[in-house]
Structure 1
């Protein structure tokens, strides 16, 4: 399992500060322009605002969408993405190339919302602390996980060490990452970079991971088959919330905006801290675990019991694969955009509800109509306390209204990588080809965002109640087995041990 934590700062103004000029709307920006959107639009996810609606919202909150790199607020709406990690060997030369080559291609939020302004390939760039230091940027950003870097944070995140890390991530020679997103492989010809995508070399200047390019579902599903991004918050000044969607001030995601109460240098405004983790996922082994451990409830077949176990681990029902690509040709497979939350569909999936973004996130874990107080401290009949989506967004478990947890939100912007499970892998229940999640989160404070969710919620066996155990999906125990309760509907007190060697989540 690869567990790479790589915090960087994604900000247009730092680029401008480094080179003293930024030409964000240069006519050369990854031409030609588009007639159809490059972004995906799964029915179950909240729709993006139109450029007109977003502009009006931004004006009301004094938010400059043209100053915000496009990936930060757009989130999980990409079909193809390349993470090009780089090192800086000559700062003077790098600054010149940043100004002449990269900056004209940087894609902002307003461009992505306007199809006519979308490039063939969107580009964003972020710098690590060592990258800023290499460029002689000495201002303090006042974020300890960012300035300390990934190695310093291992203990806080219960990571087992660096044995399974990609070697390039262990040191401090990766100075930043360029994000390249598109909807087709053909658009790569517009990328002005050399090197073979998807093949990490032993030089920090060319370590890269190519996500979701080859034979992979492209409409928002993670490798385990569950739709991601449903619970991303609505950011004030960008979008209107749907029922059940958390509303956060822009400053929880963007530096220097309302809600960010930390002192920052002026150039950091509208940037965001990007946390990257490359998470290997053993999909055949996960499916075998579900098959071997069905919940044996009355009136459920073994297959239904297995599906219910997976749903209670995640907190939502599994979503059927929708569409995936081989090297050149889009292929259509059996599709149903389902995946209702188990709190609203406890025993069987409700595909209609799951595909409806006005209903599939509209719950609190409290009683129907409850607007104050907390949820039941004992009832796990609908959703386990340990379920992934409950551990990472507790809602009424922390009290209603949800303001008590309002500063622990992130915008998820990751994407799966690697091919679909092959027939041989499915038959042997063993992974032969690496696949997983290129996890990305954006927040203005890593300690309140990603680190808090991982350390104090997912890895805390006493959260939200004593004896709950780990988050079965992302909970970490320094490589040791993890104990989880609440998954077995017939006996919620029964502990289930997840052995990393069998199930890497």
Structure 2
């Protein structure tokens, strides 16, 4: 009787194991793909894009997956840590951890995506803790973001999360999947592997917004439309999409201005800029409502929506106001062959003077400040970045909406976990933030200065209570200035990291 019972149990266990394979292919992607955003290439197209002689050697199996994928994750956790025991950490990095790191090719097909994608990056302090003395050739990375706070426009560091203050963070794990449970399970596994060799410093949990808001940031605007195409990766370039050499994003690749001086082991890596940007959504909505425009022929709601759109440069749908200057156009927004195909110049319009006309789009609009297009003549792709951030925090509550004020409850903080990749922080993120976003005179040569970017701009060194002047937001009176006495985005700090090629994890970094 006992033998029969055991046989039945064993038989059921075998049958169960056969019915449910341990490693099942994914059926749903860990990525989102809104119509408005550029599509990722298929694995085959990505391979074909890199076969030309100029791009030979772009190894998508060695490039960490997050770098070229952009703002497409469903769920993501940023786990910031310090290294306590370098020897143990390096031993685990070269074996257990390396085997978990997700490459670019894996993410391009649902069938090859892991349950949870894992990437890793290190700060300068982290490389030092690992005994790596090589100079990676980036001054911003070497000094860390805390040292750059003032010139980035952060009004001091009193609003910074304590973990970002100084240089105590050594590294960050980026965990992405389609469920929170998957992400948390993978983090628990990493913590079990590494044990006491690391300590948690800070974490930020992000998620694509729900339902129809998928792909939109917390102010409600579709994001990620202007991502660049990458030579050697993107095969089908969309109309209006900037094309960058791989070395403008990837260290040591063709187009990296410092290619010859980089340590050989860094080729295929990228500098990661992380910023935790708190968004004051009720305050933004209140300001937009209180400053609704008075354009004839538009309803009160349309005039309110138009003012918000002129701050951003796009409607909430993602349609550019340069092509839809008075009303939203969802068909335009959802057509990624048209929604990025503009330059702000309209030579077809009689009497249009490009240097002074901002009827369609203000010179100060967020998307114009961060990508000036024809304003600078031929576009300089050397300042492009690949954005890979994700919203964090809950949706706005009814109580916050009624009060028109964000809650002080830390659990209700929301914003953007901003991530940008580039091969040169000074020419990428820092240049964009300092020379364009925070520069009241940019775009240059205007009779009335455009002012700072109304969303994320602040003159370097200015105090939090200093009003920020912008102009051009009223199409009826383009020279009219607005004084912003409210912060829509508050920096909670961040750090600069290097996302190494996967091969380096069992090489220099664990030696």
Q: Identify whether the pair has TM-score above 0.5, normalized to the shorter chain.
A: yes
User: What RMSD over aligned residues (CA atoms) do the two structures have, in Å?
Assistant: 2.2
Q: Is 1:494 matched with 2:480?
A: yes
Looking at structure 1, the residues matched to 100 and 353 of structure 2 have their Cα atoms a distance apart, in angstroms, of 48
1:306 counterpart (300, 304, 307): 304
Structure with bigger helix share is 2
TM-score normalised according to structure 1 size: 0.84
Q: Is 1:459 matched with 2:454?
A: no
Counterpart in the other structure of 2:252: 256
Looking at structure 1, the residues matched to 144 and 490 of structure 2 have their Cα atoms a distance apart, in angstroms, of 24
Change (3 A) 1:470 1:415: same
1:124 counterpart (119, 124, 137): 119
1:412 counterpart (383, 387, 407): 387
1:135 Cα deviation after fit: 0.3
Looking at structure 1, the residues matched to 362 and 443 of structure 2 have their Cα atoms a distance apart, in angstroms, of 11
Per-residue CA distance 1:267-292 (angstroms, 9 max, x = gap): 11010000000001110111111111
Counterpart in the other structure of 2:397: 422
Change (3 A) 1:502 1:455: closer
1:204 Cα deviation after fit: 5.8
Change (3 A) 1:218 1:128: farther
In structure 1, stretches of 5+ residues that fail to align are 1-29, 197-202, 320-338
Looking at structure 2, the residues matched to 148 and 502 of structure 1 have their Cα atoms a distance apart, in angstroms, of 28
1:107 counterpart (99, 102, 120): 102
User: Could you tell me whether the CA contact under 8 Å between 1:174 and 1:204 is conserved in 2?
Assistant: no
Q: Is 1:222 matched with 2:217?
A: yes
Counterpart in the other structure of 1:322: none
SS in 1 for 2:105: helix
Change (3 A) 1:217 1:304: closer
Q: Is 1:380 matched with 2:354?
A: no
In structure 2, stretches of 5+ residues that fail to align are 1-21, 192-197, 492-511
TM-score normalised according to structure 2 size: 0.83
Q: Is 1:53 matched with 2:45?
A: yes
Q: After the TM superposition, which residues 69-218 of structure 1 pair with which residues of structure 2 at under 5 Å, given as runs?
A: 69-188=64-183, 190-193=185-188, 205-212=200-207
SS in 2 for 1:208: strand
Change (3 A) 1:387 1:214: closer
User: Could you tell me whether the CA contact under 8 Å between 2:76 and 2:175 is conserved in 1?
Assistant: yes
RCO comparison, higher one (Cα < 8 Å, 6+): 2
Counterpart in the other structure of 1:266: 264
Looking at structure 2, the residues matched to 293 and 204 of structure 1 have their Cα atoms a distance apart, in angstroms, of 47
- Residue correspondences, number: 445
User: Could you tell me whether the CA contact under 8 Å between 1:375 and 1:397 is conserved in 2?
Assistant: no
SS in 2 for 1:366: coil
Per-residue CA distance 1:456-502 (angstroms, 9 max, x = gap): 00011111134110011110233222110001122111111112357
Change (3 A) 1:206 1:485: same
Change (3 A) 1:192 1:397: closer
1:187 Cα deviation after fit: 1.7
1:104 Cα deviation after fit: 0.8
Per-residue CA distance 1:31-76 (angstroms, 9 max, x = gap): 6541232210100011111110001112322211111111100001
Counterpart in the other structure of 2:495: none
Looking at structure 2, the residues matched to 184 and 386 of structure 1 have their Cα atoms a distance apart, in angstroms, of 38
Change (3 A) 1:147 1:375: farther
Looking at structure 1, the residues matched to 216 and 358 of structure 2 have their Cα atoms a distance apart, in angstroms, of 26
1:360 counterpart (317, 339, 349): 339
Change (3 A) 1:247 1:503: closer
Counterpart in the other structure of 1:44: 36
User: Could you tell me whether the CA contact under 8 Å between 2:344 and 2:373 is conserved in 1?
Assistant: yes
Per-residue CA distance 1:362-400 (angstroms, 9 max, x = gap): 011122579xxx97111010000000000110010000x
Counterpart in the other structure of 1:318: 316
